[in-house]
C-alpha cells in the first residue's frame, strides 16, 4: 500500500486500520515516510478526528516504537500520575512522597518546562546538587529501596512521540484530542506502572479550553489505559488561576515542602489530597476515600511524608539541608511588590500571562536550549475571591534584573479586580473513573 492512500483515506473521513497505523509509526521512526507525508496525515487527523479504536491503536503503535521500562521486578503496586500541565503545578513534588510514604511505589519520569508551563525536572534541579538522571538500573533499584524515584525522560522512550510532537508543533496540529491522548498515554504506557492517575486541566492556559473538551480528553485517555490493562482514572481541574501561590522553580519547591508539612496553600493542598486519595484507592491499600484521607493526613502530620521527600533528595544527591533551611536555595537578587491600583475582589488571574511573564524574567525557557534561573518567579498574595485595597500587594516578584515598565503593566493587568465578591468555585470539577 502506498502511504499516500492512507492519507487519502483519512482525508475521506474513513477509519485507519491497526495495520495502517503501525505502518505509519514504523515508517515515521525509521525515516522511510517523509515528514511532509506525516504532516499531511496529522492535519487530516486534526480535521477529521479518529475513532477511539484508532486512538488506542495509535497509542499502542507509539509505545512499540521504542524502549519500554520493565518495573515488574519491583515489589508492590507501582503508581504513576500525569498532569496535562498548568502554571504553578508542583503536584508531583508533593503527591509522589506522600503516596510513597503510604507504601505505594512511585516510579516517576517527568519533563522540563517549555513556554508558559513549568516542568518538574527544572523544579527539582533548583535543589542544590539534585540529580534527575539515573540509569534505568539505578532508577529501578531506588524505587525498590525507598519507594520512589523522580527522574527525567530517557531518550529511547517513545521516539515516535518525539518526532510527531516536533512536527505537530510547526504544522498547527497540536490541538487534537486523539493526538494529545495518544501522545500522553504512549509515554505513560511505555513506563510499566500498574496504575495511572491523570490530572486533566481545562480553562484558560490549558490545552482544553472547556470542561466538555477536558472530559472528552480524559475519557479517551482512560479508555486507552484500560484497554491496555492499566487502572486509569482522571481528575478534572479548572485552571483559571495558578495552582498554589508560587510560580518559579525554587519558590515552588519551597511551597511543596510547606505542603508536605501541612502548611501549604488551601487549593494546592486540596488537589494533592484528592489526587492522593484516588491513587491510594487505585493501589488498593484503602477501600474508601475517607480511609485514604485519614491515612494521608497522618503521614503529613507525623512528618513521614516530608521525610520521604528528604529521602528522595538524599538518594539523588541533593542537599537535604536545604529542605530544612530554605535560605540554602538559590536566592533572587531583588524582591519587588506589585501594588494594586484598585480596591475590590480578585475575580480572575490570567495564569497563562503569569506563566509567560515569569518565563520572561528567567523562570522558564522560550526555546529548548535556553537556560533558566531557579531563583526567580512570583509569589501571589491575593487569589480568586480575595479582597484587595489600593496599595496592597497583589504579589511579590523575585527577580535578578531590573523590571521593565511594560512588564509590570502586563503583570498588573493579569489580575482582574471588581467590586462584587465572586461566587466560590470548586477547582476539582469532576472525577472520572
Ligand atoms: N502533552 C503531551 O505529552 N502531548 C501532547 O500532545 C500534549 C501535551
- What are 133-170's pLDDT values in tens digits? 999 899 999 999 999 999 987 768 899 999 998 899 89
What average pLDDT does the segment 188-200 reach? 94
Ligand 1: centre distance to CA 218 (Å): 13
Q: Tell me the Cα Rg of the chain.
A: 22
pLDDT exceeds cutoff 90 at 279: yes
158 ligand 1 Cβ < 6 A: no
**Candidate from 163, 207, 220, 221 with most ligand 1 atoms within 8 A of CB, to mutate:** 207
What average pLDDT does the segment 223-249 reach? 94
Closest of 208, 261, 268 to residue 236, by C-alpha: 208
Question: Which of 20-34, 45-59, 113-127, 325-339 is predicted with the least confidence, judged by mean pLDDT?
Answer: 113-127
21 ligand 1 Cβ < 6 A: no
Percent of the chain with pLDDT strictly greater than 70: 99
User: Which residues in 154-215 belong to E strands, given as ranges?
Assistant: 195-202
Minimum CA distance residue for ligand 1 atom 6:
180
Work out the burial of residue 390: count CB atoms within 10 Å of its CB; fewer than 13 is exposed, 13-18 middle, 19 or more buried: exposed
User: What pLDDT sits at residue 370?
Assistant: 85
What is the side-by-side order of every strand in the sheet holding 415-418? 387-388, 344-349, 415-418
User: What pLDDT sits at residue 111?
Assistant: 81
Any idea which residues carry the catalytic annotation? 82, 161, 168, 183, 187
Q: Which residue has the higher pLDDT, 357 or 85?
A: 357
Minimum CA distance residue for ligand 1 atom 1:
184
Q: Per-residue pLDDT tens for 367-413? A: 878 889 999 999 999 999 999 999 999 999 999 999 999 999 999 99
83 ligand 1 Cβ < 6 A: no
What average pLDDT does the segment 190-210 reach? 89
Percent of the chain with pLDDT strictly greater than 90: 86
Amino acid at each position: 500500500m502506498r502511504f499516500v492512500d492512507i492519507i487519502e483515506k483519512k482525508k475521506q473521513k474513513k477509519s485507519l486500520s491497526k495495520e495502517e497505523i503501525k505502518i505509519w509509526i514504523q515508517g515515521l521512526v525509521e525515516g522511510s515516510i517523509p515528514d511532509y507525508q506525516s504532516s499531511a496525515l496529522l492535519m487530516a487527523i486534526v480535521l477529521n478526528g479518529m475513532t477511539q479504536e484508532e486512538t488506542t491503536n495509535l497509542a499502542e503503535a507509539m509505545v512499540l516504537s521504542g524502549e519500554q521500562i520493565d518495573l515488574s521486578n519491583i515489589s508492590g503496586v507501582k503508581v504513576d500520575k500525569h498532569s496535562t500541565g498548568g502554571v504553578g503545578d508542583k503536584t508531583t513534588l508533593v503527591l509522589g512522597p506522600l503516596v510513597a510514604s503510604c507504601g505505594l511505589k512511585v516510579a516517576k519520569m517527568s519533563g522540563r518546562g517549555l513556554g508558559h508551563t513549568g516542568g518538574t525536572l527544572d523544579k527539582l534541579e533548583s535543589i542544590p546538587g539534585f540529580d534527575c538522571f539515573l540509569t534505568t538500573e539505578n532508577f529501578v533499584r531506588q524505587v525498590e529501596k525507598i519507594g520512589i524515584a523522580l527522574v527525567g525522560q530517557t531518550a529511547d522512550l517513545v521516539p515516535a512521540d518525539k518526532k510527531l510532537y516536533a512536527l505537530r508543533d510547526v504544522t498547527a496540529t497540536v490541538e487534537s484530542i486523539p493526538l494529545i491522548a495518544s501522545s500522553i498515554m504512549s509515554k505513560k504506557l511505555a513506563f510499566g506502572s500498574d496504575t495511572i492517575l491523570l490530572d486533566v486541566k481545562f480553562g484558560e492556559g490549558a490545552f482544553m479550553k472547556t470542561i466538555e473538551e477536558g472530559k472528552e480528553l480524559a475519557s479517551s485517555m482512560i479508555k486507552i489505559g484500560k484497554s491496555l490493562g492499566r487502572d486509569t482514572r482522571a481528575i478534572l481541574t479548572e485552571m483559571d488561576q495558578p495552582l498554589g501561590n508560587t510560580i518559579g522553580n525554587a519558590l515552588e519547591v519551597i511551597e511543596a515542602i510547606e505542603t508536605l508539612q501541612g502548611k501549604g496553600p488551601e487549593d494546592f493542598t486540596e488537589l494533592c489530597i484528592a489526587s492522593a486519595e484516588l491513587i491510594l484507592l487505585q493501589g488498593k491499600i484503602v477501600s474508601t476515600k475517607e480511609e485514604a484521607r485519614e491515612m494521608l493526613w497522618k503521614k503529613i502530620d507525623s512528618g513521614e511524608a516530608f521525610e520521604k521527600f528528604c529521602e528522595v533528595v538524599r538518594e539523588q544527591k541533593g542537599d537535604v539541608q536545604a529542605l530544612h533551611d530554605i535560605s540554602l536555595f538559590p536566592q533572587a537578587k531583588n524582591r519587588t511588590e506589585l501594588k494594586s491600583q484598585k480596591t475590590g475582589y480578585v475575580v480572575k488571574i490570567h495564569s497563562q500571562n503569569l506563566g509567560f511573564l515569569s518565563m520572561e524574567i528567567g523562570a522558564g525557557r522560550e526555546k529548548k536550549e535556553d537556560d533558566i534561573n531557579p531563583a526567580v518567579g512570583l509569589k501571589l498574595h491575593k487569589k480568586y475571591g480575595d479582597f484587595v485595597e489600593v496599595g496592597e500587594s497583589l504579589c511579590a516578584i523575585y527577580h535578578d534584573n531590573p523590571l521593565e515598565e511594560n512588564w509590570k503593566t502586563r503583570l498588573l493587568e493579569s489580575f482582574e479586580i471588581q467590586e462584587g465578591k465572586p461566587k466560590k468555585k470548586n477547582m476539582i470539577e469532576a472525577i472520572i473513573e
